[in-house]
Amino acid sequence: MVKNMKTKILEAFEKVYGDASGAKVYFAPGRVNMIGEHTDYNGGHVFPCALTIGTYAAVKKRADRKLRFYSMNFTKVGVLESSLDDLSPSEEAGWTNYPKGVMWAFAGRGMKMDVGLDMVIYGNIPNGSGLSSSASLEVLTGFALRDQFGFDVSNVDLALIGQYSENNFNGMNCGIMDQFASAMGKKDHAIFLNTADLSYEYAPLVLDGAKIIVTNSKVKHSLVDSAYNNRRSECEKALAQLQTVVDIKGLGDLSEEAFEAHKDVIDDPVRQRRAKHAVYENQRTIQAVEALAKKDVDTFGQLMNASHVSLRDDYEVSCEEIDILVEEAWKIDGVVGSRITGGGFGGCTVSIVKDEAVDTFREKVGAAYRERVGKEAEFYVVEIGDGPYELV
């Protein structure tokens, strides 16, 4: 499979640019977050894992300062050209704003490329699914730059550079989770990450007798244009009000009891609900990882369900289509837990489903979604994979 992918991408590279000799092929994974949503920019915990699907790139140095990009996913767009002397975001640059943003962020840290690159990109993460295709592309670019130019950066640095470029080049105020999960993935493990200080541990996510199923609603979200940045600023305002009465750096520092004792200092009911989600979701994430350590998958599933209710009602980042997928999943015997995953406003759900219920889950959820929404949902039984690597 890996060999085939390498051959496929190099063939495309040769077709587009004429000569693939000396080109190297790299991969960085997408991610799914099991629990801990919208906690990463609130100084809380998250629990994502890297997937075996993600983004591939064939990369070759040039002799000049030109940058050429081609995506096998957007063939009609053709080759998009730029230059190391023009690392600024633009609408015409489209998807290439992500790799260009990473190059810009590297340069801002004193790591300047001396020559340009030809790149061919191929992603097998469904577009707009909320499985972090943008973070995957950012980590992939950083990984390739490190290899091509010998830059001295760790994989954690790759995550931070990717987040910085998305925040400051692409104008999307995401937290660290997506890039960290892609850069630091480990096969068959999820990452229990404290986003307040980037301390983390790997937790085995081997579910005996059950599968992780990601269901794509086929409702595409565009986070940059969505309410995502608004949610972040609502939380920042709520935090500032709480900081007048408690000594905290982020909402993740609060227990549920402390939040309930001080919540009335937040004078806006919407902001109070946003903050409640951030506090309670962080505690749910901690409890979920503790449950998993005890092999108590049922409790983990209940916490996933509670997470969805909170994201739907308090944080208001779900949508009708996603709620239907989750409601239909909850009806099925053998579904341990199901919730929205990712930034929200469309995208995917993640469910833990017992082996004997997998076929029923696909059939019943698929049929109900078709009937109620008029769209075909897509189902992926996902495998948990490693972080970025070169295909050799």
Selected catalytic residue, list 40, 152, 157, 178: 178
Instruction: Report how far residue 369's alpha carbon sits from residue 219's, in angstroms, rounded to the nearest whole number.
Output: 12
Q: Please choose, from the candidates 369, 390, 387, 388, the residue with its C-alpha nearest in 3D space to the C-alpha of residue 379.
A: 369
- Answer yes or no: are the C-beta atoms of 263 and 271 closer than 8 Å: no
111 φ, ψ (degrees, to nearest 5):
-105, 85
Q: Is 178 considered catalytic here?
A: yes
Asked if 182 and 55 count as a contact pair (C-beta separation under 8 A), the reply is no
Which of the residues are catalytic? 178
